[in-house]
Amino acid sequence: MIRVVAIALALATPAFSQSSNLANPAALNEQAPPLYKAHFDTSKGVFEVEVHRDWAPNGADRFYNLVKNGFFDNARFFRVISGFMVQFGINGDPKLSAVWREARIKDDPVTKSNARGAITFATAGPDTRTSQVFINYADNSRLDGQGFAPFGIVVGNGMDVVDKLYSNYGEGAPRGSGPEQGRIQSEGNAYLNKAFPNLDYIKKATIVK
């Protein structure tokens, strides 16, 4: 299970805008620009993430390729803990989730703190980052020493949108009554739509030109 303390579209429709390359993670290895923005159009509104490649190069590159190729489109904000963080990055299609679960990248040194608004890859241990990320709701600097390396930050008034994401389901199973990550991986949006219909989701994520 991804660790951050143990650390989707309203219907489960195919993400027609997704790149066919998503089924081959090894092919998505483009180096990101030194500075770029990712635009997230969500069920609660729009926010943008400003990514600094020098903060965490491996994380910035992976995030760039995921956004550019539509990986996050229709994905749910499946773990939303008020006062802590919001986590996303499991694709709504179980077939794609399966190939990305082992598409790991090397760790980056932690050069920036997990401050409010910072975005960071989730990890299950050394060199295990894949596609799941979280946005910090508060000063979570205690995570810095655990190897969680921020690669960007929500800019402008974006945190006003992030703060509104549905959080009433709380922590995920088995610690709480929220979604179980194993079932998200194996059943995708079909599971979330049925059992957790109020979760907010990403309509489309794009790289800002």
Q: Per-residue pLDDT tens for 161-199?
A: 999 999 999 998 888 889 999 999 999 999 999 999 999
Could you tell me the maximum CA-CA distance found in the chain, to the nearest angstrom? 41
Structure tokens at 109: 């040194």
- Residue 1, pLDDT score: 43
How many whole angstroms separate alpha carbon 98 and alpha carbon 101? 6
Tens digit of pLDDT for each residue in 102-142? 999 999 999 999 999 999 999 999 999 999 999 999 999 99
- Quote the pTM value: 0.90
Write down the CATH number for the domain with range 34-208. Answer: 2.40.100.10
Structure tokens at 169: 């389901």
Tens digit of pLDDT for each residue in 43-72? 999 999 999 999 999 999 999 999 999 999
How many whole angstroms separate alpha carbon 179 and alpha carbon 172? 5
Give me the phi and psi of 34, to 5 degrees please.
Answer: -60, -35
Residue pair 59/105 in contact (Cβ under 8 Å)? The answer is yes
How many whole angstroms separate alpha carbon 171 and alpha carbon 159? 20
Residue pair 86/73 in contact (Cβ under 8 Å)? The answer is no
Percent of the chain whose pLDDT exceeds 90: 86
| Domain assignments of the chain as residue spans, ordered by start | 34-208
